[in-house]
């Protein structure tokens, strides 16, 4: 069920009405669970069996970790993680692995290729893994941020709600148990943050329905073989437009999810923080899909050793984490290449930053000075150098370079066949003789403008203060509502639903 479908709005109205009826306040959680199951199983009810299996696995393993004997905690946690990953691998990667090893022919290859990809399986699997791992870590440290009900039935009930809560069920943000579970209590309508919820929902639906859904009609022509007939300028414009579209689509979904959760009294983490103003790739990944980036860092990068085992191992860890993060997005080798594209660049960027820092220290002649004094002087020199090299022009240049790098990488999302990506890049380099499709280019620029303004307003507020433009906010939101009602594109699935 799509957030921008009439079926969802009917479900939302019914759920909201029942949820806040005083006589039904004790049933608020069952009401949300029922609505979430309807939301998830509306088009393919059979997939509810997989969701319930995933919930049961995580409920059992987290309960075993919390209440099992100390020497069995690691076993319970390991079983929970392995079974979660096994289910994800079977449904998402078995066909890719089999066809890579044995080819596309045969009954097994045909059967595996026909397996449905359960909606949101990557998201609710990672959420389940974080639950099991966090409970294990908390017990090992003796901390108490996560409390598990002694009664297993109550525990299963709570974990069902935690994993199935419909705003974040199919495309995140990936929510942590220690953030969500303490929020489970009776909610009152008077406590709804109406202003915040309205802004989140309006901005989210505008980005999705006006920007992304209209842009998809222009970026459709990136598909093979249509792009071969377009000019170099049109191809570059369409790729730029897809970069705008994928941001508007996923950031829009995340904002809608946050707004819907707020309507029912729950807070979820923000997933995007104006990523296209990033001046480095490291900053980009601190701003883009924050819940996934954080998950990969906490549960994979650190587990591999992080930066604690030397420079070479750090670079290898960065590369491996991004390759695996790429494969998380889809069962095609192009996603692994996309991860390698970012992982390799992150490793190089980190190596260059380390080299520059050492060079500054050496140039400043700090080698013979006591370490604590040298550290203070180096920090002062580094701050001065950063200020010198952070002129508006250079910042703009860095932003452009990072955005261009990221945008080229999005081709691997739009064209899963890698040889089509090569052909697209080749067409950009050779199709200058073809006529420019000014209609496509104009539409792309028009629907890219809101995303550009969205980031520019943030930059201006950072330099002039958060109060800047506050008086114009009602006008901005009124304009967005106007376009949502009168200029929404044809409803399309959210891009990240495929992941």
Just list the catalytic residues. Answer: 329
How far from the centroid of its chain's Cα atoms is residue 183's Cα? 23
Q: What Cα–Cα distance (Å) separates residue 427 from each residue in 379, 450, 478?
A: 47, 28, 42
Q: What Cα–Cα distance (Å) separates residue 297 from each residue in 137, 285, 291, 321, 385?
A: 15, 11, 10, 8, 29
- What is the rounded radius of gyration, in angstroms, for the C-alpha atoms of the chain? 24
Whole-number Å distance between alpha carbons of 281 and 399: 10
Burial of 17 (0-12, 13-18, 19+ CB in 10 A): exposed
Whole-number Å distance between alpha carbons of 312 and 308: 11
Whole-number Å distance between alpha carbons of 494 and 477: 22
Strand runs labelled E in 116-189: none
Torsion of CA 213, 215, 219, 221, to 10 degrees: 80
CB-based contacts of 486, cutoff 8 Å, min separation 6 = none
- SS3 string, 206-255, reads HHHHHHHHHHHHHHHHHCCCHHHHCCHHHHHHHHHHHHHHHHHHHHHHHH
């Amino acid at each position: 069920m799509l957030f921008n479908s009439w079926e969802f709005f009917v479900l939302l109205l019914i759920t909201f009405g029942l949820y806040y009826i005083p006589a039904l306040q004790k049933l608020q959680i069952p009401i949300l669970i029922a609505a979430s199951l309807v939301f998830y199983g509306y088009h393919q009810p059979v997939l509810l069996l997989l969701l319930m299996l995933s919930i049961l696995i995580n409920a059992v393993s987290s309960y075993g970790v919390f209440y099992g004997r100390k020497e069995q905690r690691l076993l319970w946690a390991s079983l929970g993680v392995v079974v979660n990953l096994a289910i994800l691998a079977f449904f998402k990667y078995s066909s890719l692995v089999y066809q890579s090893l044995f080819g596309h022919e045969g009954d097994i290859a045909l059967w595996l290729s026909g397996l449905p990809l359960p909606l949101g399986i990557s998201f609710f699997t990672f959420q389940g893994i974080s639950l099991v791992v966090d409970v294990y870590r908390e017990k090992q440290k003796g901390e108490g941020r996560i409390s598990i009900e002694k009664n297993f039935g109550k525990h299963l009930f709570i974990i069902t709600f935690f994993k199935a809560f419909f705003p974040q069920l199919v495309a995140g943000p990936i929510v942590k148990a220690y953030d969500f579970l303490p929020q489970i209590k009776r909610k009152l309508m008077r406590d709804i943050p109406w202003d915040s919820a309205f802004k989140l929902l309006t901005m989210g639906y505008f980005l999705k329905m006006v920007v992304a859904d209209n842009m998809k009609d222009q970026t459709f022509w990136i598909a093979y073989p249509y792009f071969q007939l377009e000019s170099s300028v049109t191809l570059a414009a369409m790729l730029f437009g897809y970069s705008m579209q994928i941001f508007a689509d996923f950031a829009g979904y995340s904002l809608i999810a946050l707004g819907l959760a707020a309507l029912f009294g729950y807070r979820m983490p923000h997933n995007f923080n104006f990523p296209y103003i990033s001046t480095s790739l490291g900053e980009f990944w601190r701003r883009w899909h924050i819940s996934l980036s954080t998950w990969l860092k906490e549960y994979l990068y650190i587990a591999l050793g992080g930066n604690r085992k030397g420079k070479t191992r750090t670079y290898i860890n960065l590369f491996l984490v991004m390759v695996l993060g790429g494969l998380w997005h889809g069962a095609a080798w192009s996603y692994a290449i996309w991860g390698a594209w970012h992982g390799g660049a992150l490793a190089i960027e980190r190596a260059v930053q380390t080299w520059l820092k050492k060079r500054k220290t050496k140039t400043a002649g700090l080698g013979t000075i006591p370490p604590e004094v040298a550290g203070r002087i180096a920090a002062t020199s580094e701050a001065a150098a950063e200020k010198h090299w952070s002129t508006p022009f250079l910042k703009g240049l860095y932003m452009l370079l990072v955005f261009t790098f990221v945008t080229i990488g999005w081709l691997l999302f739009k064209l899963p066949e890698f040889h089509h990506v090569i052909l697209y890049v080749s067409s950009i380099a050779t199709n200058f003789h073809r006529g420019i499709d000014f209609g496509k280019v104009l539409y792309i620029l028009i629907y890219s403008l809101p995303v550009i303004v969205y980031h520019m307003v943030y930059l201006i507020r950072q330099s002039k203060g958060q109060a800047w433009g506050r008086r114009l906010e009602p006008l901005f939101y009124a304009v967005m509502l106007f376009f949502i009602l009168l200029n929404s594109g044809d409803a399309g699935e959210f891009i990240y639903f495929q992941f």
